[in-house]
């Protein structure tokens, strides 16, 4: 990474070898200055003290606010007048586990300027990015314009070094303003912005009032952190006006402002002296004004992370304003999080980036090759999302052995790909969660689904109440249904989930449950045979045991003004199978209105495997490929028919007998079903 300015490597020695990298520099013409963690100012090596960071790592948990505050406080207190510089966290060192072709990520800190705001996320980010963090020393007085130019030079260097990869800018509050300014000035550079509670709303926040309050703090009260905190505490206790008559009638108003902000600013006052806080507030005011006048020039792909309980900035409203202003902007709201969301439990930046579909290693997103394996937390999140549905329906999974015998469990599924699972798409896709997570937990097989492009289109963010509903599909590895993605998945020997009936099947009308809406001509047989994929037909039933349809598409079209929403949902760019005829051509997206029922049970059956290996030449013949296609369709219909008949024999089809069984045998006991 090239230096942002001609500077010499700093001898600054951060307090913890765990935090900062001392790995060998990359071989480049110009190098970013970095800090070493293994030397003191004199250059003599010193042992690393056991810190809370070490204890946290040994405990197997991520660092949090406490570890951040301790590390930031020690870094900030070291005498250092600048200039700003980049460093690589030690957790990001080596790159041994990093994915090939990882893009560069530059972290731009908030008001504190320390650069450790991603401390909870270092290890995960290091596997996806070549990561660098900006440190702005406490005594440094580089202007906002100077910081923008500093980051800009680094961005241009990285873009020149790897022109086929994007450069990520993750900015927090004032750092988000820097990221937007760089993007506005460099529209020809491939940038991805991740803006966390951006400071563009400064003029509509209470921070502006706080800035005035800090200007009034007498000099004796900012010589040390405890004195400043004591002053603010006295202010909040109602004695503000007694401390100095010069505060006048504004005292009570300022006291109320500070009262709401103090809990969030305690960490800041513990890191920075009053002069630095005042300087940073003035910079944030300048940054906000500068950036807001140039938002129209920002062309970069942008993700805004907004906290619903941000005590410092109106981040929720600001995120919606930015979504309406920026050309390529997605928003993710976290209503229960505060301003320091990056340090809070329950928030994962990597998962958020993946879920929004904003991770890529080239100029265009490759949903197949850019996919990253699930973390344990992501899998647990997927399971939790469908936990209630799984509990209510207690899915029964059956599979067919090569000799045709049907058994409970998944012993009949192949363990090596490529495999193509082809089946019936239940109403609203209710079967997807139990199917994908159930197979993954039982066998370790990760199924990748071919999904409707609507789930990946930026316009969906504008049209549905909560576009993050689709994030989990992307995290779990779903890709837009295209021939290219189908080809790539099979070439990677993946387990691929395909619903030939698509949206028409999942959003069927009243009375159409368990009816297949497949194209007349073969769509997948020859592609499967090209890679020798095993085709597994499967069926699933149970939608009619959990709900009734109150309003279908035909009913909705009779409602006033619904046709306007229908046109927006199904713009021409998202049309599928435009060359098909009949019902299958209708792949429009639309809501349905359902009424719940006393839950029954879901039943899955995976049919007998159909091998295509060695039949590529044979299946090039359209007639033979069509014959196999119709055979697969017939097998799916047979699976559905089998389940509909056999479920009548299940004494535990209803939830009440199942609850009684679990009460008698324990909640973890496998509930019996019909004899296959």
**Pairing label, strands 167-172, 191-196:** parallel
Listed in sequence order, the DSSP H helices in 162-218 are 174-185, 207-215
Listed in sequence order, the DSSP H helices in 38-97 are 52-58, 65-77
pLDDT tens by residue, 118-132: 999 999 999 999 999
From residue 290, give the alpha-carbon distance in Å to each of 180, 181, 323.
Answer: 10, 8, 18
Task: State whether the Cα torsion 438-439-441-447 is positive or negative.
Answer: negative
pLDDT at 647: 97
Q: How far apart are CA 169 and CA 195, in angstroms?
A: 8
Structure tokens at 330: 């997605």
CB 51 within 8 A of CB 18: yes
Q: 191 burial class (0-12, 13-18, 19+ CB within 10 angstroms)?
A: buried
Residue stretches of the chain with pLDDT short of 70:
1-61, 92-96, 209-270, 459-465, 572-587
SS3 annotation, 373-424? CCCHHHHHHHHHHCHHHHHHHCCEEEEECCCCCEEECCCCCCCCCCEEEEEC
Domain ranges of the chain: 65-203+288-356, 205-279, 376-573+582-665
CB 638 within 8 A of CB 587: no
CATH of region 65-203+288-356: 3.40.50.1820
The dihedral formed by the CA atoms of 257, 201, 336 and 113, expressed in degrees to the nearest 10: -90
Bond from prior residue into 374 cis (ω within 30 degrees of 0): no
Nearest to 133 by CA among 342, 354, 364, 371: 342
Region for residue 125 given its phi and psi (left: phi exceeds 0; alpha: psi -120 to 50; beta: otherwise):
alpha
| DSSP 8-class letter at 63 | -
């Amino acid at each position: 990474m090239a230096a942002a300015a001609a500077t010499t490597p700093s001898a600054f020695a951060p307090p913890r070898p765990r935090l900062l990298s001392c790995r060998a520099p990359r071989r480049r013409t110009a190098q970013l200055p970095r800090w070493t963690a293994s030397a003191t100012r004199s250059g003599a090596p010193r042992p690393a003290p056991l810190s809370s960071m070490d204890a946290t790592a040994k405990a197997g948990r991520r660092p949090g606010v406490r570890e951040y505050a301790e590390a930031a406080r020690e870094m900030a207190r070291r005498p250092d007048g600048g200039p700003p510089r980049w460093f690589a966290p030690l957790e990001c060192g080596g790159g041994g586990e990093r994915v090939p072709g990882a893009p560069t990520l530059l972290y731009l800190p908030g008001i504190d300027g320390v650069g450790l705001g991603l401390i909870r996320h270092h290890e995960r980010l290091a596997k996806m990015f070549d990561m660098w963090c900006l440190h702005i020393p406490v005594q440094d007085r580089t202007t906002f314009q100077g910081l923008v130019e500093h980051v800009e030079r680094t961005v241009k260097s990285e873009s020149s070094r790897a022109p086929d990869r994007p450069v990520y800018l993750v900015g927090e509050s004032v750092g988000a303003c820097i990221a937007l300014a760089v993007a506005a000035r460099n529209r020809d550079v491939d940038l991805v912005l991740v803006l966390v509670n951006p400071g563009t709303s400064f003029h509509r926040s209470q921070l502006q009032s706080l800035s005035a309050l800090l200007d009034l703090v007498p000099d004796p009260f900012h010589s040390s952190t405890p004195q400043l905190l004591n002053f603010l505490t006295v202010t909040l206790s109602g004695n503000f006006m007694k401390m100095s008559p010069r505060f006048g009638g504004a005292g009570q108003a300022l006291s109320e402002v500070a009262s709401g902000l103090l809990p969030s600013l305690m960490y800041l006052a513990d890191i920075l002296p009053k002069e630095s806080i005042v300087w940073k507030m003035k910079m944030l005011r300048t940054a906000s004004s500068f950036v807001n006048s140039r938002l129209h020039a920002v062309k970069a792909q942008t993700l805004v992370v907004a906290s619903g309980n941000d005590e410092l900035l109106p981040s929720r409203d600001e995120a919606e304003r930015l979504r309406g202003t920026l050309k390529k902007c997605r928003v993710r709201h976290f209503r229960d999080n505060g301003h320091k969301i990056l340090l809070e439990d329950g928030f994962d930046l990597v998962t958020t980036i993946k879920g929004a579909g904003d991770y890529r290693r080239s100029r265009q997103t490759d949903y197949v090759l850019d996919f990253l394996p699930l973390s344990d937390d992501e899998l647990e999140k997927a399971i939790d999302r469908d936990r209630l549905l799984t509990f209510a329906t207690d899915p029964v999974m059956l599979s067919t052995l090569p000799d045709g015998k049907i058994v409970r469990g998944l012993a009949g599924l192949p363990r090596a790909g490529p495999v193509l699972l082809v089946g019936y798409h239940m109403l609203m896709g209710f079967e997807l969660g139990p199917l994908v997570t159930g197979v993954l937990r039982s066998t370790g097989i990760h199924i990748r689904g071919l999904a409707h492009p609507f789930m990946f289109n930026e316009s969906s963010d504008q049209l549905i109440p909560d576009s993050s509903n689709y994030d989990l599909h992307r995290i779990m590895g779903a890709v837009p249904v295209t021939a290219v993605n189908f080809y790539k998945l099979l070439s990677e020997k993946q387990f691929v989930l395909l619903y030939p009936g698509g949206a028409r099947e999942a959003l069927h009308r009243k009375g159409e449950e368990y009816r297949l809406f497949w194209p007349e001509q073969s769509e997948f047989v020859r592609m499967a045979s090209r890679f020798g994929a095993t085709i597994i037909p499967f069926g699933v039933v149970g939608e009619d045991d959990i709900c009734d349809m109150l309003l279908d598409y035909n009913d909705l079209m009779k409602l006033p003004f619904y046709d306007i929403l229908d046109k927006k949902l199904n713009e021409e760019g998202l049309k599928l199978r435009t060359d098909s005829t009949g019902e299958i051509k209708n792949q429009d997206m639309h809501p349905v209105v359902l009424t719940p029922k006393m839950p029954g049970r879901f039943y899955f059956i995976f049919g007998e495997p159909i091998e295509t290996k060695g039949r590529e030449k044979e299946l090039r013949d359209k007639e033979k490929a069509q014959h196999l296609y119709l055979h697969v369709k017939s097998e799916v219909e047979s699976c559905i028919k089998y389940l509909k008949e056999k479920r009548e024999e299940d004494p535990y089809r209803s939830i009440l007998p199942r609850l009684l069984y679990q009460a008698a045998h324990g909640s973890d006991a496998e509930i019996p079903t019909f004899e296959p």
